[in-house]
Structures are given as structure tokens and as C-alpha cells.
Amino acid sequence: MAASKRLEEGARELSPLASLAARSAAAYEPMPNGHEQVDLGLPPGELLDIHRRMLLLRRLEERIGQLYAMGEIGGFCHLYIGQEAVAVGMERATRSDDPVITAYRCHAHMVVRGVAPELVIGELLGKADGVSGGKGGSMHMFDPARNFYGGHGIVGAQVPLGTGIAFALKYRKTDRVCVTYFGDGAISQGQVAEAFNMAALWKLPIVYVVENNQYGMGTAVDRASAVSDLHKRGESFGIPGQEVDGMDPVVVERAGLTALEHARSGRGPMLLEMKTYRYRGHSMSDPALYRTREEVQKVREERDPISRVADLLVNAGVVDADQLKAVDREIRAMVMEAVTAAQAMPDADPAELMTDIYSAGS
Amino acid sequence: MREISVREAIRDAMAEEMRRDESVFLMGEEVAEYEGAYKVSQGLLQEFGPERVVDTPITEAGFAGVGVGAAMMGLRPIVEFMTWNFAMQAVDQIVNSAAKTRYMSGGRVSLPVVFRGPNGAASQVAAQHSQDYGAWYAHVPGLKVVAPFDAADAKGLLTAAIRDPDPVVFLEHELLYGDTGQVPDGEHVAELGRARIVRPGRDVTLVSWSRGVSAILAAAETLADQDIEAEVIDLRTLRPLDRVTVLGSVQRTHRIVCVEEGWPSCGIGAEVIATVSAEAFDALDAPPRRVSGAEVPMPYAAHLEALALPDVETVVRVAREACYVDV
């Protein structure tokens, strides 16, 4: 329960991402002469904001990976490295009152919702002030105050849950939309098809986002799905699907806006297939022997979402390489601060072992 | 007071809570236009409309998850399973999602959802449609498990379950739906987690719940004719188990027989007897006993089915043995 107090205190401040965005806008200066005209797709300040947000997720997950390797984090730990464009692009398309739910690769989705990185790290370290008080760990984190509903460990089970959230939004006659994430592995779960059917039948306000990172654990999509175009998996329910370059945050945002508008206007669910890639193994214990180093390297070199935006910003003369390095240093320092703050949190209290099983007083 | 059936009592509890609280709704297979496969939801669609009485496709895992998700947003879903046998498809959502999310979230997410429907053996519907799931769900921290016997408890306990902030598994019994009983007029809320002494006695404690209570009540009648005064306890709630009432009774009677329709291995009877053995060992004058369903998938043929379920004669015999009358 200590964590909830801490969260509420945090909510009164600007989230780190919101303050980053404010600084991004301030950092923007008019394009110097001599640079080619580049279509950024967005105002330069917004692109800087996207770059910073993605970089924060990258540096945070890298640091979490190090802490895991050092034995400070236990259990299963699934990193988001490589997929940052999806979480950042979709978050920009999503209203802050739109509920979001995902599976166990959830750290990034929490942080883009505005949860302080130290609360996520604290949870991974089993601390009392971790976002779930040390009871949930990497795969089970929730913050309803920021409309984030987990953090679920059973592949695909969050899809009916997200559909139920959308049911509640419609029941309450709101104009909010639930964004429900899952992986390419989850799409073959029976529960997912069941949820698709009900969402389409009842025209629920929901956007399904399949983060197709090409591998369900160690199994490539074309070895697991009879139809490897996953955006077509809603067709038999009449759910429109769209393939999206999930390595381009601007493209993700545009697709997200369209899909959210579709769902918000009462036309029912949409399915977005984000073609993305994870650079690390499925979890920290996975050496990823089912693919070649060259395959990973090629994606890193040619499609990396952060490099892509950075190159765009430099080529357009919005910033130079030194300025980007300064941003990186700032973000690394911010992550280190979050780690230090999390490490200083008290361990989860043994007296809390048997609390939160039922509601207090019941 | 008025005399109504268990079926009507359950319907009345749902209707009254839906009138009282806009966030309560009913979903499940055939609950709306068909008015329930067992006619439990009669009149609800007409009164509350299709937005609050929702027919689902035959998709237990999916709609159980939808119910849990809706509860995450503060609605109070009543999720009906046509029978609990079919909820096996949905056990992941009941156990992994509903039961564990409050804990996993450090208390940040509440799930006020009720899962309900008929449980246990019906009449000659054989193995896949005749199973008692009480022990399965009572095993799980985070769930409350309720199994009423009479009409008054059906109404009072379901009302309490709907108002409860935690997930409740509500186990009805098809063979009790038509039984009638006196139910208080107006609002009637029973307390979850409290057993009830249905008939006081000094010689032996008989414990059961749901339809098993009719067997132990009948056995108590027979035993009374034989000068054995049995104390009859209806557990009413299987989790949390009212250990205090059971232990208090054993302190008075020094003997206990626990009767259940389900299989004995790791069953509710095993839990009751373990509790008594550990916490009232010195009060016991005889080994605690169980009468349970046979450890077989439920057979179809009526005479085989009867052999697989606990009956009054066996309860009487075992109670007499516990009293050392026939030794």
C-alpha cells in the first residue's frame, strides 16, 4: 500500500515524459541555413519529443537488462528493446483517459503512460515502493490512475480483459477507447478469437494492436500462424485490419489515430499489425539461437526506430550529432537517478505478505 | 416472509441489485431472450434491457475475461455459466486473472465480479455435466466461494456476493432450483464466510453445504428416532471456511461427519477434518469421518449414479459408527 501513496504524490508532478516533452519543445530552434528541406512528417519539436521518449525506453530497458545480469532482478524479464516506436507512437495517438492493457513485456507501456521509471525499477527489485509493492514483478504491473491495466502473464488472456474494459466504456456511454496490446504468439490463442468475435458483435470501442516482433518466444510467425499476415486475423469477424511499419513512430501514430477514431466513432474494433522486431531474446534467459546475429544486426542498422528519427533530425538540421549525444547523456543520467532512487527504496515488508489478497475489511 | 423457490430467490437477488446499482449487469449464454437455460433470469431482459442482460456467444473463456475486464473498470458483472462444468474453459480467467490481480497489483485493482451457475450432479447427465467444483475454487486465495442450500440463503448470499468487492464463485445446484423456502421480505443480505447451525444437537456434528444439507438434515431426523441428536451445520461459504463454527460444534459433540457430493481426495471434507484434527484433537472422541461422492467420473445409468453419490443411509451408518453405536 506504500506504493500507492508514492504514486499519488508522483501524479501531482509532471511525468518525466511530459517534462521531457516540454524541454524538447524548448530545445527547438529554427532550422539553420544550408540544410536540405526534409519532410519530417511532424513539427520538429514533436519529433524531438518522440526521439527522447524512445531513447528513454531504450536506455531504461538496457539498464534493466544489466541489473538482471547482475542478479538484482529475478524471475522472468522481457525487454522491449527494438519495439519502442510502437509504444511511443501509439501513446501519442491515445488520449490519456483511454485505458491501455498489455501482456508481460510491459515496462515500456507503463512508462509511456507516465509511470515514473523508478517505480518500475523498484518493482523489479522487489521493493515496497515498487509499482505493485514487490508483489507483481516484471510481468504484473498496474496503474489504474493512469489508465494502465497491466501487465499480464498469461499469453493472450489480456485480450478478453481489454475487451471487457471496452465493454465497460460502452456500458458507461463514454467516448473512451481501450487499446489492447498482444504479441504475434498470442494471436493464435482461442481466447483472442473469442474476444474478437464479441468486440465485433457488440461494436466495442477497442483497438487491438498486435506487436508482431516476428517470434513467439523462439517460433517464427510463419511456423505458428497459417496466415502470416496477422492483420487479416480479424477478417472473419469483420474487423478491419492494417499492416503498419512498427519501426516508424510517425507511421505508428498516424495509424493509431485512424484506428482510435474508428473505434471512438462507434464503428467497433480495429486491428493494427505492427511489424516490429525485438533485439534481445524473448526473455533474459533466451539466447535467441533461432535466428542469426546477421538478421538482428541488419534490422538494427536499417530499421532501428531511434536511429531513424535521429538521422531525420540531423539531416533536417534540427539538431546536430553533438546535441543528440547531449540528449543521450541526459537520459542516461535520468535512468541512473531512477535506479539509485529505486535501490534506496525499502524492501517489500514481510508484513505485507498476506495483504491485498482480498479488499481491506472484507 | 414469503415462500419462493431457490430459482426465484436468485432472480430476485439479481433484480434487486440491478435496481439498486446501475453498475450491476448479467451476462452469459441464454440469460436474456431465453431467460436462462434453467429459467433463473426470468423477466430480467424485459425489465433491464439488452444492455444490462447480455446474451453471449458460447465462449466461456472469452466472456469470463470480458466480465473480469469490465470489473477492472468498476462495473459489477454477474457472469453466468450455464453450468460450472463449462467454466472449465474459463478457469484461466477465474484463477489467473480474477483471483490474483488484486494481489499482483499491490491492492491497486479491485475485481467485484460474481461467477455463478449450477454446480454438482444433476440428474443422469453423466460425467461431463456432473461434477462438484467446490474444492477446486476453494483452493484459490483471492476467490470467495459460496454454495447456498435454501432459498433464503440463495437470496441473501447472492446479494452479499454482488455487493462484495472481491471475486465470488457462487455455486448453485440444479436439483435445488425448484425447492421452496421462506425468504424475508425486502432487502435480505447474508454474511459471507459464516456457517449456520441448522439444527442443534449434542451427539455428533454433521457438516455439509448446498444439496448435501438435505442429506444431513434427513439423516439427523433418522438419527433422532434412534436417540442420537445430531448437530447439522450448513457451511454456506467454502472459502473463507467458517472454522470457528465447526470447531465450536465439535467441542460440544466430540464427533464429526462431513458429507460432500464431490470426490474426497483434496476435498472440502479433507480440509474440514484436517482443521478439526489439528485444532480440536483433544475434543474428539472418535475419528472424524467423511461421506463423499465415489472417485469415478459420474456414470449415466440412474442406479449407478445413485451409487456414486452420498445417500442418507450411508450418512446415518457413518454417524452411528462415529458414535460407536454399532461397534
Q: Which of A134, A157, A169 sits opposite B65 (nearest CB)?
A: A157
| A160 Cβ under 8 Å from any chain B Cβ | yes
Residue B167 three-state SS: coil
pLDDT at B282 over 50: yes
What's the pLDDT score for residue A17? 37
| A353 Cβ under 8 Å from any chain B Cβ | no
* Residue of chain A with shortest Cα separation from B160: A362
Percent of chain A with pLDDT over 70: 89
The CATH number of the domain covering residues in B196-322: 3.40.50.920
Cross-chain residue pair A144–B109, CB shorter than 8 Å: yes
Answer whether B161's CB lies under 8 Å from B117's CB.
no
Nearest Cα residue to B115 out of B159, B171, B46 = B171
Which residues make Cβ contacts (< 8 Å) with residue A361, sequence separation at least 6? none
Q: Which of A4, A152, A163 sits opposite B108 (nearest CB)?
A: A4
Rounded mean pLDDT of B77-99? 98
Cα B271 to the chain's mean position, in Å?
16
* Residue of chain B with shortest Cα separation from A5: B108
> How far off is chain A from B154, nearest CA to CA, in Å?
20
Q: CA A163 to CA B61: how far, in whole Å?
A: 12
> How far off is chain A from B222, nearest CA to CA, in Å?
39
Rounded mean pLDDT of A170-197? 98
pLDDT at B179 over 90: yes
Q: Which of A3, A131, A197 sits opposite B59 (nearest CB)?
A: A197
Question: Which of these is catalytic: B129, B173, B188, B254?
Answer: B129
Q: Which one of B23, B108, B237, B239 makes the best mutation probe of the A interface by having the most chain A beta carbons within 10 Å?
A: B108
Residue spans of the domains in chain B: they are: 2-183, 196-322
Rounded mean pLDDT of B269-298? 98
Mind listing the domains of chain A with CATH numbers? 2-28+39-346 (3.40.50.970)
Quick one: pLDDT band at residue A1, thresholds 50, 70, 90? very low
pLDDT in tens, A255-304: 999 999 999 999 999 999 999 999 999 998 999 999 999 999 999 999 99
Rounded CA Rg of chain A? 20
* Residue of chain A with shortest Cα separation from B96: A154
C-alpha cell at A145: 490512475
Nearest Cα residue to A3 out of B110, B105, B98 = B105
Q: CA B81 to CA B131: how far, in whole Å?
A: 14
Give A 112-141 residues with CB within 8 A of chain B: 130-136, 140-141
Answer whether B102's CB lies under 8 Å from B115's CB.
no
pLDDT at A35 over 70: no
Cross-chain residue pair B62–A167, CB shorter than 8 Å: no
pLDDT at B175 over 80: yes
pLDDT in tens, B225-244: 999 999 999 999 999 999 99
Cross-chain residue pair A1–B106, CB shorter than 8 Å: yes
Annotate A212-243 with b (16+ C-beta within 10 A) or e (fewer).
bbbbbeeeebeeebeeeebbebbeebebbbeb
Rounded mean pLDDT of A171-185? 98
| A361 Cβ under 8 Å from any chain B Cβ | no
Cross-chain residue pair A164–B51, CB shorter than 8 Å: no
Give A 173-192 residues with CB within 8 A of chain B: 190-191
Cross-chain residue pair B110–A359, CB shorter than 8 Å: yes
pLDDT in tens, A226-241: 999 999 999 999 999 9
Q: Which of B74, B92, B106 sits opposite A157 (nearest CB)?
A: B92
Q: What is the DSSP string of A277-325?
A: --SS-SSTT---TTS-HHHHHHHHHHH-HHHHHHHHHHHTTSS-HHHHH
Q: Helix %, strand %, coil % for chain B, to 5?
A: 40, 20, 40
> How far off is chain B from A308, nearest CA to CA, in Å?
36
Rounded mean pLDDT of A113-138? 97
Quick one: pLDDT band at residue B158, thresholds 50, 70, 90? very high
Give A 72-111 residues with CB within 8 A of chain B: 99, 101
> For residue B309, what is the enclosing H or E element?
none
Cross-chain residue pair B69–A163, CB shorter than 8 Å: yes
**Strand runs (DSSP E) across chain B, as ranges?**
2-5, 24-28, 53-55, 76-80, 114-118, 144-146, 168-172, 180-183, 196-199, 204-208, 230-234, 237-239, 256-259, 289-291
Contacts of B106 in chain A (CB under 8 A): 1, 3-4, 130-136, 142, 356
For the question of residue B172 being annotated catalytic, the response is no
Specify whether the backbone of A134 is left (phi greater than 0), alpha (psi in -120 to 50) or beta: left
Q: Which one of A120, A146, A167, A173 makes the best mutation probe of the B interface by having the most chain B beta carbons within 10 Å?
A: A167
Quick one: pLDDT band at residue A36, thresholds 50, 70, 90? low
Answer whether A116's CB lies under 8 Å from A146's CB.
no
pLDDT in tens, A287-346: 999 999 999 999 999 999 999 999 999 999 999 999 999 999 999 999 999 999 999 999
pLDDT in tens, B23-60: 999 999 999 999 999 999 999 999 999 999 999 999 99
Q: CA A85 to CA A355: how far, in whole Å?
A: 38
What's the pLDDT score for residue A360? 86
pLDDT at A362 over 70: no
| Fold match between domain B2-183 and domain B196-322 | yes
Percent of chain A with pLDDT over 90: 86
Quick one: pLDDT band at residue A38, thresholds 50, 70, 90? low
C-alpha cell at A205: 470501442
Q: CA B241 to CA B262: how far, in whole Å?
A: 17
Nearest Cα residue to A145 out of A176, A109, A113 = A113
Quick one: pLDDT band at residue A177, thresholds 50, 70, 90? very high
Nearest Cα residue to A100 out of A206, A191, A192 = A206
CB pairs under 8 A between A and B: 159
> How far off is chain A from B164, nearest CA to CA, in Å?
8
| A56 Cβ under 8 Å from any chain B Cβ | no
Rounded mean pLDDT of A79-95? 98
Question: Which of these is catalytic: B8, B16, B17, B60?
Answer: B60
Task: Tell me how far CA of residue B31 lies from CA of A55, A147, B164, B170, in angstroms.
Answer: 51, 31, 22, 16
Q: Which of A164, A171, A172 sits opposite B65 (nearest CB)?
A: A164
| A265 Cβ under 8 Å from any chain B Cβ | no
More confident residue, A28 or B170: B170
Contacts of B110 in chain A (CB under 8 A): 359
> How far off is chain A from B274, nearest CA to CA, in Å?
22
Rounded mean pLDDT of A163-184? 98
pLDDT in tens, B183-213: 999 999 999 999 999 999 999 999 999 999 9
Rounded mean pLDDT of A129-134? 97
Quick one: pLDDT band at residue A103, thresholds 50, 70, 90? very high
What's the pLDDT score for residue A40? 77
Answer whether B4's CB lies under 8 Å from B151's CB.
yes
Quick one: pLDDT band at residue B79, thresholds 50, 70, 90? very high
CATH of B2-183, one of 3.30.2010.10, 3.30.460.10, 3.30.1490.20, 3.40.50.970: 3.40.50.970
Quick one: pLDDT band at residue B326, thresholds 50, 70, 90? confident
* Residue of chain A with shortest Cα separation from B93: A157
Mean pLDDT for all residues in chain B: 97
| A194 Cβ under 8 Å from any chain B Cβ | yes
* Residue of chain A with shortest Cα separation from B105: A132
What's the pLDDT score for residue A342? 98
* Residue of chain A with shortest Cα separation from B112: A359
What's the pLDDT score for residue A324? 96
Answer whether B240's CB lies under 8 Å from B292's CB.
no
For the question of residue B188 being annotated catalytic, the response is no
Mean pLDDT for all residues in chain A: 91
Contacts of A190 in chain B (CB under 8 A): 61
pLDDT in tens, A52-63: 999 999 999 999
> How far off is chain A from B227, nearest CA to CA, in Å?
41
> How far off is chain B from A72, nearest CA to CA, in Å?
20
pLDDT at B83 over 60: yes
pLDDT at A27 over 70: no
